[in-house]
A and B are shown apart, each in its own frame.
Chain A
């Protein structure tokens, strides 16, 4: 079953994007917290790590969205031509 122009593989990938975003933020915060304890600079590196994780999460999200849009584009044009 296909919803919209996206393939079943893309639909499954979409379900992981939320978790990938959360893991990116958690990873950034964790690394920042570890660095803070190591350099005794709490809370600055934790905050920096959190923002870096957020940026990484957004990067993953945008990259996947662009890839899916690129793959879905030819299928949209196929439909306009009347082909399946």
Chain B
């Protein structure tokens, strides 16, 4: 197998789709992983919400409380102000889902679903919908439309500024999707490329391949640790940026 084929095989999605007559139901590695993540998060959420007497139950409940408090005071309120408190549940779900999705690739046979632009695009669309909903909720439909024209704009510039502002909102949503997707897929490509170096050099000379294995594995471990950091960082940045963009729409005068 060529190097590019090996990379594509490990990074891209695989369709094990089922055919119902002419209807194709695409069951892919990414959708299966996503369902597994959803079930894990659902069970975790139920465990966190329950107030049992056992030590484990109390630990999960305390962890849940700390997590929600961190999301509210560290991300939502600084970005959106007190108005954002009603949306804390969305941000809690978003952060945990992205974090677990980013980390899922480290488990054998599981895939990092955030290295699929369709999934990051879906998440970004949800965030875009939240931004528009915030605008309509706090300003009304006409008030939200008026926020696309900054105060003090001369009337003859409005036909130019209005489309620019609308497109810049669309670009922000695109950036959310591209940023997460690019970070996750590039990290995986680097990890796999470092592994493949050993085999490429091993084909040229077995001794050289053995000699390359040790430094390549050292770099691999370092990059995996960096990937762990990136997984947390990107989940945090995605959530924080969503709150900032929603806050800009809420507080635009």
A interface vs B, CB < 8 Å?
7-9, 12-13, 15-16, 19-20, 23-24, 27, 56, 59-60, 63
Contacts and interface: CB of A to CB of B under 8 A. Distances in A.
B115 to A, nearest CB: 17
9 contacts: A9-B79, A16-B179, A19-B179, A20-B175, A56-B168, A59-B164, A59-B168, A63-B150, A63-B168
Contacts of A7: 78
Contacts of A60: 168, 171
Please report whether the interface of chain A is mostly helix, strand, loop or mixed according to DSSP: helix
A33 to B, nearest CB: 17
Given A9-B79, A16-B241, A19-B175, 9 more contacts: A8-B78, A12-B237, A12-B244, A13-B241, A16-B175, A19-B179, A20-B175, A56-B168, A63-B150
B168 A13 contact: no
- Tell me the dominant secondary structure on chain B's binding face: helix
Contact of B171 (A8, A9, A24): A24
B31 to A, nearest CB: 27
A56 B237 contact: no
A27 B172 CA distance: 12
B175 A56 contact: no
Contact of B174 (A13, A23, A56): A23
Given A19-B179, A23-B178, A56-B164, A13 B171 contact: no
Interface string B96-121: 00000000000000000000000000
Closest 6 CB pairs of A and B: A19-B175, A23-B171, A60-B168, A9-B244, A20-B175, A23-B174
A19 to B, nearest CB: 5
A60 B167 CA distance: 10
